[in-house]
Amino acid sequence: MNEFELIRRLTQSLPTNETVVAGAGDDCALLDLGVPGRLILFKTDAVVEGVHFTRETPPEKIGRKALARCLSDIAAMAGTPTAALVTLALPRSFEADFVAGIYAGLTALAERFQVAIVGGETTTNPERILISIALLGMVDKGKQVLRSGARAGDAIFVTGELGGSLAGKHLDFEPRIVEARWLAEHFHLHAMLDLSDGLAGDLRHILRAGKVGAELLKSALPVSRAAKLRARGLAEAGQPVPREPAHGRKPAVLAALTDGEDFELLFTVASREAVKLLDAWKKKFPALKLTCIGKIVAGDGIVLRDKNGGQKLGVPGYEHFQD
Amino acid sequence: MNEFELIRRLTQSLPTNETVVAGAGDDCALLDLGVPGRLILFKTDAVVEGVHFTRETPPEKIGRKALARCLSDIAAMAGTPTAALVTLALPRSFEADFVAGIYAGLTALAERFQVAIVGGETTTNPERILISIALLGMVDKGKQVLRSGARAGDAIFVTGELGGSLAGKHLDFEPRIVEARWLAEHFHLHAMLDLSDGLAGDLRHILRAGKVGAELLKSALPVSRAAKLRARGLAEAGQPVPREPAHGRKPAVLAALTDGEDFELLFTVASREAVKLLDAWKKKFPALKLTCIGKIVAGDGIVLRDKNGGQKLGVPGYEHFQD
């Protein structure tokens, strides 16, 4: 049994009560605590030294990332973040300036999104820094977007560009709070999540939840410059050349499909809304790319189409592509 | 600068917004999210292997303790717990049965208090298990009890018995949710918290918040049997003899004043309510001790009184007592 199987087993029969609208399994838990016209969003997320950042990462960016990941989950439900608690687990020999830097990055981002930081616990974790954020948010009843509503025929959209996030974007990404709220206000989104484990893996969450499949158009995938550079063994100016994967350079399309930490929105809408949505988006958010990358189909799994036909993606998504 | 000073500095100027009734500095954050007649309580707490439990601790008790600590904080505000999120940071080579045991202990306690577990995140912490719980609760507006309302003349009460918790109670303690709610419903509590760092240290939080002092009656302190046994170098049947502190056995009264993890309620009420409260308590909760241990006075700090007079407790509380 691997970790994911275990957690799936454990979270299948968790205690519930009358406040729970949606529990484990979506980007946030969804609670009805009696706020007229609104539901509460509830989420935690942790970042760990050596996994999500290193000792060399500037502390401001560590703090920023810890909160931004949670904000991205609130965005994925089309919600508005409200208040956060910070749990800081630190080695005993921490440097005060380093911790102050973590808080500086965290609070700067919180202020930008009008999120209150309502408490800060510290505890000991002798070997490495761990930061866990608990975040509350709100969403108007009926405006929340779950992972489960995709229907055959839907157009699949993604914001921004994909792949290569570890070259730098994972520390600086913008949680798509404003964009997601605008989308949910003006269009009937069927399903949405934020990309954290890579397009192919995260799209499967939507497909399984909706009992549908997807066809992606290879040429439509918005591949990031970082992923393209890495495929050629290069790096962005000012960034270190990333370590090569075990079997050589990673093709850019594969990076766009499987790299984690994109933190872009992935959502589906009825295909008849697709053109109107793209037009309205370009006027509202001219600086941020929005791409229709394919469609939801009956069946299951993901087929990647190019001029030579379709290729079914295996579950891990690690096929060997040529660009 | 030590950890506490740093955190105090960092949490002095945290971002806030219009939902915040009370932020960092009390047992829980207190939010007004628009629930008619009610406020939201929000709390996180983490337990760490080697600090709050060991690999030898039965996993059910680890999970139970992780949640119970948070429940105790909700109790300290006289609130009702509603929904929790579980963050489990695990070494890569975890045993599935061990993790299942953690969840079993956690969910059993959650069910007893009708708390929904609405999500379970896992992440990697290579060297040791860390569990962070985020908990939401509710309290009727006006019934919440902060740390800051103590007034000169108040009687100081404590539930249960104090000291020696690490001999076993810290894994089995009962969060005083029911008792705290009953107290707040029937009496006007001025200040309350749950004892986690030891009576002397935690009482100082109430004193500083209320700008008052306290006199404690040494003979009134409800010293636990575990603390008395340890003072004589003995242990409860079935429990290991605790390691001796560096300078020999710990006198039982000192243990009651300074041992952590009691998780009992400490609160103050106007002295004219004290006798009525004690009488009503004995009828309602005959199995749980409630003790008046002293009074709030003008000034600051803690004076411990016995037949020989009063002795001011130093800030760390580590004076050398004779039993």
Instruction: Tally Cβ neighbours within 10 Å of residue B276.
Output: 12
Question: What pLDDT does B210 receive?
Answer: 97
**Rounded distance between C-alpha atoms, residue B86 and residue A31, angstroms:** 16
Contact of A97 with B1, CB cutoff 8 Å: no
**Rounded distance between C-alpha atoms, residue A3 and residue B99, angstroms:** 10
Chain A hits for B127, CB-CB cut-off 8 Å, are 126-128
Question: What pLDDT does B93 receive?
Answer: 80
CATH number of A206's domain: 3.90.650.10
Higher pLDDT, A121 or B151: B151
Chain B hits for A23, CB-CB cut-off 8 Å, are 116-119
Q: In what order do the strands lie in the sheet with A20-22?
A: A20-22, A29-31, A38-48, A130-140, A80-90, A116-124
Give how far the C-alpha of residue A22 lies from the chain's centroid of Cα atoms, to the nearest Å: 19
Name which of A87, A115, A124 is nearest B15 (Cβ-Cβ): A115
Residue B29's closest chain A neighbor by CA? A118
pLDDT tens, B62-98?
999 999 999 999 999 999 999 999 999 999 887 888 8
Task: Single out the residue in A90, A109, A140 at which a domain terminates.
Answer: A140
Higher pLDDT, B234 or B25: B25
B297 and B171 in one domain? yes
- Residue range A127-136: average pLDDT? 97
Name which of B83, B87, B136 is nearest A46 (Cβ-Cβ): B87
DSSP A306: E
Question: What pLDDT does B295 receive?
Answer: 98
Question: For residue A111, is it within any domain?
Answer: yes
- Its sign, for the CA torsion A272, A274, A280, A283, is negative
Q: Which element (helix H / strand E) includes B184?
A: helix B177-186
Q: Letter for the amino acid at B246?
A: A
Using the predicted structure, report yes or no on whether residue A247 has a pLDDT greater than 60. Answer: no
| pLDDT mean across residues, chain B | 91
**Rounded distance between C-alpha atoms, residue B225 and residue B236, angstroms:** 8
Range of the domain at B260: 155-312
Chain B interface mutation, best of A118, A127, A139, A146, highest count of B Cβ atoms under 10 Å: A118
Please identify among residues 47-106 of chain A the ones whose CB lies closer than 8 Å to any CB of chain B: 47-48, 50-51, 82-83, 85, 87, 89-90, 94, 96, 99-100, 103
The verdict on B43 touching A (C-beta cutoff 8 Å) is yes
Contact of B293 with B158, CB cutoff 8 Å: yes
The verdict on B111 touching A (C-beta cutoff 8 Å) is yes
pLDDT tens, A137-195?
999 999 999 999 999 999 999 999 999 999 999 999 999 999 999 999 999 999 999 99
B132 and B21 in one domain? yes
Contact of A184 with A269, CB cutoff 8 Å: no
ipTM of this model?
A: 0.92
Question: What pLDDT does A8 receive?
Answer: 73
B287 and B210 in one domain? yes
A160 and A127 in one domain? no
Question: For residue A203, is it within any domain?
Answer: yes
Using the predicted structure, report yes or no on whether residue A248 has a pLDDT greater than 70. Answer: no
- By mean pLDDT, which of A12-21, A247-256, B130-139 is the weakest? A247-256
Chain B hits for A50, CB-CB cut-off 8 Å, are 126
Tokens representing B250 are 């710990």
Domain count, chain A: 2
Question: For residue A105, is it within any domain?
Answer: yes
Using the predicted structure, report yes or no on whether residue A242 has a pLDDT greater than 70. Answer: no
| pLDDT band with cut points at 50, 70 and 90 for residue A96 | confident
Q: Letter for the amino acid at B278?
A: L
- Residue range B278-294: average pLDDT? 98
- By mean pLDDT, which of A245-249, B9-13, B25-29, B75-79 is the weakest? A245-249
B173 and B234 in one domain? yes
Task: Single out the residue in A72, A105, A140 at which a domain terminates.
Answer: A140
Question: For residue A11, is it within any domain?
Answer: no
Tell if the pTM clears 0.90, that is, is over it: yes
Higher pLDDT, A10 or A222: A222
| pLDDT band with cut points at 50, 70 and 90 for residue A319 | very low
Question: What pLDDT does B72 receive?
Answer: 98
Question: What pLDDT does A322 receive?
Answer: 38
pLDDT tens, B36-52?
999 999 999 999 999 99
Using the predicted structure, report yes or no on whether residue B290 has a pLDDT greater than 60. Answer: yes
Query: In Å, how far are A102, A103, A120, A186 from A87, measured between CA atoms?
Result: 12, 11, 6, 36
Question: What pLDDT does A320 receive?
Answer: 41
Question: For residue A322, is it within any domain?
Answer: no
Contact of A301 with A229, CB cutoff 8 Å: no
pLDDT tens, B254-277?
999 999 999 999 999 999 999 999
A133 and A253 in one domain? no
**Rounded distance between C-alpha atoms, residue B129 and residue B140, angstroms:** 36
B299 and B184 in one domain? yes
Question: What pLDDT does B25 receive?
Answer: 85
**Rounded distance between C-alpha atoms, residue A224 and residue A162, angstroms:** 5
A161 and A131 in one domain? no
Contact B46 A136 (CB under 8 A): no
Contact A119 B89 (CB under 8 A): no
Query: In Å, how far are A190, A268, A282, B63, B78 from A277, measured between CA atoms?
Result: 13, 11, 9, 47, 49
CA nearest to A174, candidates A259, A64, A84: A64
Question: For residue B60, is it within any domain?
Answer: yes
Contact of A115 with B23, CB cutoff 8 Å: no
DSSP A166: G
pLDDT tens, A27-62?
999 999 999 999 999 999 999 999 999 989 999 999
Contact of B227 with B162, CB cutoff 8 Å: yes
Question: What pLDDT does A4 receive?
Answer: 65
Chain B hits for A20, CB-CB cut-off 8 Å, are 83, 116, 118
Task: Single out the residue in A140, A167, A197 at which a domain terminates.
Answer: A140
DSSP state string for A241-289: PPPPPTTSPPPHHHHHHH-S----EEEEE-GGGHHHHHHHHHHH-TTS-
Residue B46's closest chain A neighbor by CA? A123
B304 and B182 in one domain? yes
Q: Could you give the dihedral angle defined by the CA atoms of residues B192, B198, B199 and B201, in that order, rounded to the nearest 10 degrees?
A: -90
**Rounded distance between C-alpha atoms, residue B275 and residue B157, angstroms:** 11
Using the predicted structure, report yes or no on whether residue A202 has a pLDDT greater than 70. Answer: yes
Question: What pLDDT does B110 receive?
Answer: 98
B294 and B160 in one domain? yes
**Rounded distance between C-alpha atoms, residue B41 and residue B116, angstroms:** 15
Instruction: Tally Cβ neighbours within 10 Å of residue B63.
Output: 28
CATH number of A48's domain: 3.30.1330.10
The verdict on A2 touching B (C-beta cutoff 8 Å) is no
B97 and B173 in one domain? no
Question: For residue A149, is it within any domain?
Answer: no
Using the predicted structure, report yes or no on whether residue A246 has a pLDDT greater than 70. Answer: no
Question: For residue A9, is it within any domain?
Answer: no
B160 and B246 in one domain? yes
In chain A, % of residues over pLDDT 90: 81
Tokens representing A214 are 């997807």
